[in-house]
Amino acid sequence: MAFELTEKEKVLESLTAAHRQGQLAEVSLRLQGKPDEAEKIKAGNTRLSTEIETLIGRMMDEWLGDADRTMKELTAANVKLEAAVAKIKKQINVVQNVVKALGLLDDAVAIAKKAIGGF
C-alpha cells in the first residue's frame, strides 16, 4: 500500500512549499544585487517559518477541522507565489513582484494563523 499524506501533512507541505519559494526569491534577489528587497522577503519568510514551527508543534493534537479549505487557500497562494518568484528570477518587474511575493507570504502566514487559531 502506497503512503498517502493526511490532510494535516498536506497543509504543512503546502506551507513549507511557500517557505521554499520565499527562500528562492531571497536568493534570486541577493544574486541580482538587491539586498534591501531580499531582506524584506527574508523577514516575511521568517514570519512564515515561525507559523510553520507553531503548526508542527500543534500537529500532535487533532486539528483537521478546516484542512480542506486551508489547503485550497494555500494552493492558490503557492501558485501565485511561484509565478512571482519566477518573474523575480527572470528580472521581470522585480519591485512589483517582490511586493507581490511579500503579500503572498503574508497571506500564507494569515492562513496558517487561521488554521492554528482553530485549535
Measured distance CA(103)–CA(41) in Å, rounded: 10
Residue 71 lies in a domain: yes
Tell the burial category of 38 from Cβ atoms under 10 Å away from its Cβ (0-12, 13-18, 19+): buried
Query: What pLDDT is recorded for position 8?
Result: 75
The model's pLDDT over 28-52, given as tens digits with 9 standing for 90+, comes to 999 999 999 999 999 999 999 999 9
Measured distance CA(52)–CA(47) in Å, rounded: 9
Is the pTM of the predicted complex or chain greater than 0.85? Answer: no
Indicate the number of domains in the chain. Answer: 1
- Taking 60 as the threshold, does the pLDDT of residue 119 lie above it? no
- Domain encompassing residue 113: 7-117
- Taking 70 as the threshold, does the pLDDT of residue 75 lie above it? yes
Residue 1 lies in a domain: no
Using DSSP's 3-state secondary structure scheme, residue 90 falls into: coil
Residue 76 lies in a domain: yes
End-to-end CA distance of the chain: 31
Contact predicate 69/96, CB 8 Å? no
Residue 91 lies in a domain: yes
Contact predicate 20/78, CB 8 Å? no
Residue 84 lies in a domain: yes
Residue 2 lies in a domain: no
Residue 62 lies in a domain: yes
Eight-state DSSP code of residue 65: T
Using DSSP's 3-state secondary structure scheme, residue 51 falls into: helix
Could you tell me which residues come within 8 angstroms of residue 83 by beta carbon, excluding any fewer than 6 positions away? none
Position with higher pLDDT, 42 vs 113: 42
Residue 1 — very low, low, confident or very high, per pLDDT cuts 50/70/90? very low
Measured distance CA(114)–CA(16) in Å, rounded: 16
